[in-house]
Structure formats: structure tokens, C-alpha cells
Amino acid sequence: MNEERRIATVTEITRQIKGVLELGFNDVWVQGEVSNFKHHTSGHWYFTVKDAGAQISAVMWRSRTASVIFKPKDGMHVVIRGNITVYEPRGNYQLDCLHMQQEGVGALQLALEKLKKKLSEEGLFDQAHKKRLPEYPQRIGIVTSPTGAAIRDMVSVLERRFPLLELLLVPVKVQGIGAAEEIAAAIEVLNNEKNVDVIIAGRGGGSLEDLWAFNEEIVARAIYNSRIPVISAVGHEIDFSISDFVADLRAPTPSAAAELVVKDRNDVIDVLREYSYSMKEAVESVIESHRDSIKHLIGSYAFNKPIDVLRQRMQYIDELDRRCIASLTHRIAMLSQTAGSMAARTSALDPRLALKRGYAVVRKNGSIVGSAASLAEHDLITVEMSDGEASAVVRGIRQTNTHTHG
């Protein structure tokens, strides 16, 4: 007599495996090398942790990435604390990261983590305290070394993007004894005396020891207490400091800070930014269309682990997001081509082209003369032509509408 067989669905088996793995591998520590690192537009991190014998997929949610003081990159050796979870749509197990640190953390790193925890608990990193940057600043205060590459890079970018800006440098030491005190005092001076619209505080890259002045509590509190918005521009793109978390905006490099603080004069870029906003709206619309599916999934799994279900759908939405952005790439290219054509037609309206066809511009006292009636005999005038200017004295005036002569 054949025994009756119990045949399970793929979903049932996957959830049984999920239950075993997540209960058996909760709050684990793993060390290995980062590879295939991807920082998704949603803010989540997706990567692989590997060693010589094996590898495991890993994810770190946006709400936790802010606690990591460095930007992971391929080849970096890290130590991770997290939980093993299963992403059911693919049947893959992965490491859900709670905390990450670089392998071989020293005394400075530990001190940094301690101060970061303290300031975070006090609310210095809270988004609610962030001030909006002015859209069109006129006077920018810069706190950095007067001899470093950072100031040269920032001045170069700012002069190229918006040459009418007024820049005010408050020179300070950016490393060594007394550097933190000088940086904090400079921020206070700009707040009290200099009437600037925004402050950039930063320096070029270096070791943790080199950047330490921007990890000091006195600098963090000076940035937090500033009534003027502060951009932190410390180090290279992968460097993070306490000032980055407290500042109203973190720029990955000093040059990037200069790019972020002012708009470019190029009208075509403004048009492309509008198109980019439209693309963002389209992606959000796609995400919205899947909310009902997410709600249904949460409802069916409400008495088990609803948070886990939501996170799995978030990961699925990220995948949809990537596909949507890829499908819109061609559209953006077409819009860029149209914007270029518009710029070419606009340049054809340049009034200087009319001068090359024999017309001239008459000025009196620096102002353009639009009517013969505004001239008098013996007036000194300037006649602008396509290749230069000529000065002249009015000997006579004839107005075509009245046929009078002077």
C-alpha cells in the first residue's frame, strides 16, 4: 500500500528554509572582502561579501547606512554584524547588515564611533535640524587652509560656474594641534561678522589622523549651532567625518561642494534638470502602482514577519526602479539632442549678427539711442559697428515723421 505523499509548493518549502536559517543565524558577525558594491538610488546598499572559499549576498538598508562612517568599495575588507534572511522571490539567502566597520579598527576609529553615537543620541544628526541651502547665494564663506589644493579647486570651480560670486576665505589649520579650535572659531566668525549666505568647511583627503580635526566635538557643535547653512567638504568621496553628519549638506570633495553650492549658468542644463525631475515623477508613479501588491503581501503574512515582507518588496521595487531607469535612458538622450538644437537656434538671434550685415548701434552717454528726437545738435555720440566703434558729433537731425531739419 502506497503511503500518501505530502507535496509542498515552492513557496512553502522556501518559507520553511527561511524559518530555519533566520532562527539559526541571528545576530552573526562576518568578515570578508566587499565585491560588486552598488549604491542604489533608493539609498540601499547591495553587495557581496567573500573570502577565498565562498561568498554571500548582502544588503544594508538606507536607514542603517548613515551609521557607517566610510563608503564601502570593491576590495575593502570589512567586519559585519547582521542577520541571515531569505529573499523569497529568488530563493536566495543574504546577510541583512546591521553594522559595518573596516577590518582592523584602531583606537581613533573606536573614539570616532563613541563620539558619533553620543552626538547622534543628542540629535545633532537629525534631518529635522538641516537648513536649506540658498538657491542663489551671493557671498560664500570658505573655512579651509589657504595653501591647500582644496581652496584652489573650489575657487576654480566657482569662478567657472558663477564668476559674480563673492568669496570670503577664513584661513585655518586643517590638521594638527589646534586645528579643530581654529575651524570652530572660523565658523563662529562667519556667523557673527561676515554676512555670508552659506559656509563651506573642508579640506582634501588623507588618513583618518589627517582628517581628525573634522571629527572633533568642538567642530561638530560649531556646525550644529551655525545659523548659516554649512556644507561639509572633507576628504575624498569615500571619506566620512563627524562634520559630514552634522552639516546641512555633505559634499564628497571640496570641488563637489563648489559644484553643489551654485547653479551653472547654462540654460540647457536647467532644461535637462526639469526633464530629470519628470523622469523621477515617472519612476515614482511606477512604484505607486505596486503599492497594492505590497499591501496584499503584507496582509497575507501579517502574523509572521511583516517587516521582513516589506523589506523584500522594497528590494523588488529597487529592481523595478533599475529597469525603469534603463528604459528611459534613450528618452533622455533624445531630449538632450532637442535641447542642443534649441541652443543653436537661440544663438542665431544674437544681435551682433545684425551688425555684420551693415547695421550699427548708436549710443549717447553710454545708453542706446532709439529715436532721433532724443538727440540734439553738437551731441557727442558713439557708433558701434561689427568690427569696432567710432565717435561722432551731431551736425544735423532729420526726423522722418516730421521732415524737420536741425
Q: Taking the domains of the chain in order of start, what are their residue ranges?
A: 10-105, 137-261, 267-347, 354-405
Contact between residue 201 and residue 213 where contact means Cβ atoms under 8 Å apart: no
Single pTM value for the model: 0.44
Residue 39, C-beta contacts closer than 8 angstroms, at least 6 positions apart: 45, 71
- Whole-angstrom Cα distance, residue 263 to residue 286? 30
Cα 296 to its chain centre, rounded Å, is: 35
Of the CA atoms within 13 Å of residue 133, those in its CB half-sphere come to 24
Q: Residue 203: which of 169, 246, 244, 235 has the closest Cα?
A: 235
Question: Which of helix, strand or coil describes residue 298?
Answer: helix
Which regions of the chain are under pLDDT 70?
Answer: 1-3, 104-107, 236-239, 265, 267-269, 271-272, 292-293, 295-306, 347-351, 354, 401-406
Contact between residue 34 and residue 25 where contact means Cβ atoms under 8 Å apart: no
Q: What is the pLDDT of residues 361-397, one digit of tens each?
A: 888 888 888 888 888 888 898 988 878 888 888 888 8
Cα 192 to its chain centre, rounded Å, is: 28
**Which pLDDT score is estimated for 394?**
84
Contact between residue 153 and residue 167 where contact means Cβ atoms under 8 Å apart: no
Q: What CATH code is assigned to 10-105?
A: 2.40.50.140
Q: What is the pLDDT of residues 127-172, one digit of tens each?
A: 999 999 998 899 999 999 999 899 999 999 998 888 888 999 999 9
137-261 folds as Rossmann fold (3.40.50)
Residue 86 phi/psi, 5° resolution?
A: -120, 125
DSSP class of residue 274 equals H
Residue 364 Rama label (left phi>0; alpha psi -120 to 50; beta):
beta
DSSP class of residue 59 equals E
**Could you give the C-alpha distances from 31 to 23, 26, 35, 62, 103, in angstroms and in order?**
20, 16, 13, 21, 8
